[in-house]
Amino acid sequence: MRKLIKIIKRKKQNVPHNFNLDEIMNEHSLDFASLSFEKSRGDALKSFRELNQKLNREDISLRNIRNVLPHVNFKQILKPVYTIVATSILLLTTIFLFDLSEETEYTQISVDTGERITLHINNDVSVWLNSGSTIKIPLEIKRKAVFYLDGEAFIQVKKSTKRKDYRFVSKGLEFTTCESEFHINSEYKPGELIAHVSKGEVDVNIPILEKTQKMNIKQGEKISFVPMAGFMAKDFIYDNNYIAWKTRRLEFNNQALTDVAIVLSDYYGIEIMVKNDSLKYEGFSAIFINPTLDQVLNNIMANYKCNVTGDGNKLIIN
Amino acid sequence: MSNTPDNILLKKIVEGNKTAFDNLFFKYYKPLYRFAYNFCHSSAIAEESVQNTFIKIWKNKNNLGNCEEIGKILFTYTRNEVIDEIRKYNTRRKYEGSADIEFFAEEREEINDKERVKAIIESAIEYLPQKAREIFRMAKKEGLTLNEIADYLKISPKTVENQLTIAHKKMRQYLEPYKNLLKN
């Protein structure tokens, strides 16, 4: 009977039982010492975007993709979610109606272009708001406070003694957390939102997609969301340059110069591109603290004996 | 959808189903990237090679109808793309008098299967949660015992054992869709 239960459990968890890793390794004369245990630098999302551009699939043609991570079994995730949702409806409705009876008032804060501000909203929540961004904050923080964000922000939520959940809504996505540090950029590319979690975890509710109603993003993970295409994907974070606007720290670890140019373009708001084919794949490593664009470009020029020219709209590394 | 077998994905791709193509991309991106990177040790070349592989698949989808194992085809295409990219790169470097990327295509041919399996297993390791991956590395790569790991990480041997169980379970889950590619 115990064996039978084990088999059923395994089946439920979708774990194959006739799978021996050591046997596979032996069969191919592999040993664990020769394997890399480091995360690879391959960025599936970035590569996917580039692939679509190369295939001229501007329409992204990804409608109704619920999720693209191959190892996530949504049936398993959704079943308990449905059950929880069904059994919680009555309770939630009561709470919701109770909350509705007291209308929430908001204040709106916008950051001018070129400015950045830090908001310490209460003991639990701090928000770093980047240039050109807007946040709507409830005047009174209730049990489930909701903030509305348009633009780019780094959010820190500390664990509250009252175990409050905080919700941040951006481009129709709802990020819920009680303790985490995360970043949202609702205008990463036209019509595309990205979010990175650097500490703790965040639940993301996606009301637009068909079945994937909730996704959990953990420390070191990021998501990309294109609402018009109904596209959502999760991947690992490969560097911390996405918050360079907050930390003033740019770090490159053997990154291709073309990728470095993209980071610099985002950071300085000036289009920078590598035109010289032989330089495009060169790996660049450096750490800059609060650098000027000149300092970074001088470093690149000194390292690769190249020139930087301008054509009125962009800087070109030759 | 994400666990759809390769033959079904391939059938849909041949019919022009882009969602199936996208699923194939995300299913194979990590192993192919690692496979390419292990050959050339350049992230840019590895990325370019994997993208070119999928471009080739999409453009030639009408000719893929008789293919039995799209997974093996992807790895073969990627390997060829890496060789092409390195040749292009080295040609450019030659004119500049700089050093080439060292690459021995003929020797590599013989161990193509081994490299493929290595890349898939490395991708599976990457998928492990951080703590489980660290403990799995200490046990498998460094050959430490449960008690040695527990001492080093200042946790109980039972926790180490649990984490190793999680690691093995997740590895098996991850590797299941690639099982045909793990055989000789």
To test the contact with chain B by mutation, choose from A18, A40, A53, A66 the residue with the greatest count of B C-beta atoms within 10 A, namely A40
pLDDT value of position A64:
43
Q: HSE on the CB side for B173, CA within 13 Å? A: 20
| CA dist A242 → A105, A239, A262, B126 (Å) | 32, 7, 11, 22
Range with lowest mean pLDDT among A20-34, A92-106, B24-38, B115-129: A92-106
pLDDT value of position A67:
47
pLDDT digits over A118-131, tens only?
999 888 899 999 98
The Cα diameter of chain B in Å comes to 60
pLDDT value of position A6:
56
Size of interface A-B (CB pairs under 8 A): 156
Selecting from B45, B141, B174 the residue whose C-beta is nearest the C-beta of A32 gives B141
Tell me the pLDDT of chain B averaged across its residues. 85
Which chain A residues are Cβ-neighbours of B23 within 8 angstroms?
65, 68, 70
Interchain CB distance below 8 Å, B30 and A65: no
pLDDT value of position B51:
95
Interchain CB distance below 8 Å, B29 and A47: yes
Which chain A residues are Cβ-neighbours of B43 within 8 angstroms?
41-42, 254-256, 283
Nearest of B163, B168, B141, B105 to residue A30 by alpha carbon: B141
pLDDT value of position A15:
47
How many Å lie between the alpha carbon of A287 and the closest alpha carbon of chain B? 19
Residues within 8 A of B (CB atoms), A 201-220 only: 219-220
* Contacts of A78 by beta carbon, 8 Å cutoff, 6+ apart: A211, A212, A213
pLDDT value of position A66:
44
pLDDT value of position A8:
47
Reading chain A (318 residues) residue by residue, the pLDDT tens digits are 555 555 545 544 544 555 688 888 888 888 888 888 888 888 888 888 888 888 876 444 444 444 455 455 556 666 677 777 777 777 766 666 655 555 678 888 888 887 889 999 888 899 999 988 999 998 887 767 889 999 999 999 988 766 578 899 998 888 999 889 999 998 887 778 889 999 999 998 876 655 556 788 888 888 888 776 666 778 888 788 888 988 999 999 888 888 889 889 888 888 898 888 788 878 888 999 999 999 999 999 888 888 888 877 788 888
Which chain B residues are Cβ-neighbours of A278 within 8 angstroms?
92-93, 96, 98
Is residue B58 very low, low, confident or very high in pLDDT (cuts 50, 70, 90)? Answer: very high
ipTM of this predicted complex?
0.86
Helix (H) or strand (E) holding B116: helix B112-127
pLDDT digits over A151-171, tens only?
999 999 988 766 578 899 998
Tell me whether strands A271-274 and A314-317 are parallel, antiparallel or unpaired: parallel
Instruction: Pinpoint the alpha helices (H) of chain A.
Output: 2-12, 21-27, 44-54, 74-100, 244-247, 257-268, 277-280, 293-304
A311 touches chain B (CB under 8 A): no
What are the E-state strand segments in A206-246?
214-218, 221-226, 231-236
pLDDT value of position B161:
93
A290 touches chain B (CB under 8 A): no
* Contacts of B131 by beta carbon, 8 Å cutoff, 6+ apart: B163
pLDDT value of position A155:
95
Which chain A residues are Cβ-neighbours of B173 within 8 angstroms?
13-16, 71
Residue A317 near residue A279 (C-beta atoms within 8 A): yes
Which chain A residues are Cβ-neighbours of B174 within 8 angstroms?
71
Selecting from B1, B18, B114 the residue whose C-beta is nearest the C-beta of A66 gives B1
pLDDT value of position A311:
79
A305 touches chain B (CB under 8 A): no
What is the 3-class SS of A178-198, one letter each residue? Answer: CCEEEEEEEEEECCEEEEEEE
pTM of the complete model? 0.61
Decide if pLDDT at B164 tops 90: yes
